[in-house]
């Protein structure tokens, strides 16, 4: 995983840099993210985001086919750290960065900071989404078929540190139920110390199957730590998590 660096430019927000390897770029590229605590905890880059971004890059050959030309939606984008990384490295057709209204301006600023690195075929959009808001969820889905885009479904949903409070479980699950289709892959980076087993019980009850990515597939710095990655799909019966215990994307073809 590439080193993440933080710098402060005069009185402006802290700038976090992430070096990535885009497939068609002649050299590594550096993404820049403005972090601002004034907008709340989502205004910074957290370790779970670094873990997920690092894992996706480490296993890029296996994840790229799932992202390329597809629609990616990031829940609780914060700075857009993981969402913009996938936009640059995996060339999806569309990336939707979503968060509360208080974070929209910050997200738009980070999209502008990295606009020159985005593939010409990738469209990045920022949208407000309060989890559990049926109106906003429906508006997001309705927006997928606008313009010349042929994308009409969400193929991949990503999120980090999205289940750190019990009161977030139900609204988060509401949005997952509405936005995730039968073939959607959900990738969540979670702090296992903050995420209760009740969250996974509710996932199963809502018909989702989940798979914990083994620590051995993460960067060595995170082996045995509190940070975990989970692949989630629809298909559970509320009793037997058939996907749990499977091999997962990064383990396929090994």
pLDDT at position 146:
59
Question: 57: which residues sit within 8 A by CB, 6+ positions away?
Answer: 1, 2, 20, 21, 85, 89
pLDDT on residue 200: 92
Name 193's Cβ contacts closer than 8 Å, sequence gap at least 6: 226
Find residue 94's DSSP bridge partners.
Answer: 71, 123
**With a threshold of 0.85, does the pTM exceed it?**
yes
Average pLDDT of the chain is 84
Q: Write the pLDDT tens digit of every residue in 218-245.
A: 877 777 677 889 999 998 544 444 433 4
Distance CA 142, CA 248 (A): 30
pLDDT at 1 over 50: no
Where do the domains of the chain lie, and which CATH numbers do they carry? 40-251 (3.40.50.150)
Cα–Cα dist 166/72, whole Å: 26
Res. 249 pLDDT band, cuts 50 70 90? low
Percent pLDDT > 70 in the chain is 81
What pLDDT sits at residue 235?
A: 80
Whether the pLDDT of residue 143 is over 60: the answer is: yes
* Average pLDDT estimate for 62-88: 95
Q: Contact 156/185 with Cβ under 8 angstroms?
A: yes
Provide the greatest CA pair distance for the chain.
Answer: 55
Predicted confidence band of residue 6 (pLDDT cuts 50, 70, 90): very low
Question: Which pLDDT score, from 0 to 100, does residue 248 have?
Answer: 62
Residue pLDDT, tens place only, 145-175: 755 454 568 999 999 999 888 899 999 999 9
3 state SS for the chain: CCCEEEEECCCCCEEEEEEECCCCCCCCEEEEEEECHHHCHHHCCCHHHHHHHHHHHHCHHHHHHHHCCCEEEEECCCCCHHHHHHHHHHCCCEEEEEECHHHHHHHHHHHHHCHHHCCCCCEEEEEECCCCCHHHHHHHHHHCCCCCCCCCCCCEEEEECCCCCHHHHHHHHHHHHHHCCCCCEEEEEEECCCCCHHHHHHHHHCCEEEEECCHHHCCHHHCCCCEEEEEEEECCCCCCCCCCCCCHHHHCCC
Whether 235 and 205 have beta carbons less than 8 Å apart is answered as: no
Supply the pLDDT for residue 11: 46
**pLDDT of 102 above 60:** yes
| Model confidence pLDDT, tens digit, residues 7-61 | 444 446 788 899 998 888 889 999 999 887 676 666 667 788 899 999 999 999 9
Place of tokens 């993981």: 82
């Amino acid at each position: 995983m590439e080193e993440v660096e933080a710098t402060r430019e005069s009185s402006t927000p802290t700038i976090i840099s992430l070096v990535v390897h885009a497939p068609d770029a002649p050299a590594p590229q550096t993404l820049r993210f403005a972090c601002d605590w004034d907008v709340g905890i989502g205004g910074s880059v957290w370790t779970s985001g670094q873990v997920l971004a690092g894992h996706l890059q480490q296993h890029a050959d296996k994840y790229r086919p799932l992202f390329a030309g597809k629609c990616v939606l990031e829940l609780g984008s914060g700075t857009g750290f993981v969402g913009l990384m996938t936009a640059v490295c995996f060339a999806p057709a569309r990336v939707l960065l979503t968060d509360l209204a208080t974070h929209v301006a910050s997200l738009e600023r980070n999209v502008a900071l990295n606009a020159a690195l985005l593939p010409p075929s990738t469209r990045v959009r920022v949208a407000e989404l309060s989890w559990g808001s049926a109106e906003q969820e429906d508006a997001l889905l309705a927006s997928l078929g606008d313009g010349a885009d042929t994308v009409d479904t969400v193929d991949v949903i990503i999120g980090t540190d999205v289940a750190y409070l019990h009161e977030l479980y139900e609204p988060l699950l509401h949005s997952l139920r509405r936005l995730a289709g039968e073939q959607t892959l959900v990738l969540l980076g979670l702090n296992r110390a903050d995420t209760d087993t009740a969250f996974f019980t509710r996932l199963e009850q809502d018909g989702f199957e989940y798979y914990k990515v083994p620590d051995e597939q993460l960067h060595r710095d995170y082996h045995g730590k509190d940070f975990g990655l989970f692949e989630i799909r629809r298909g559970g019966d509320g009793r037997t998590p058939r996907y749990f215990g499977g091999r997962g994307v990064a383990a396929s073809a090994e």
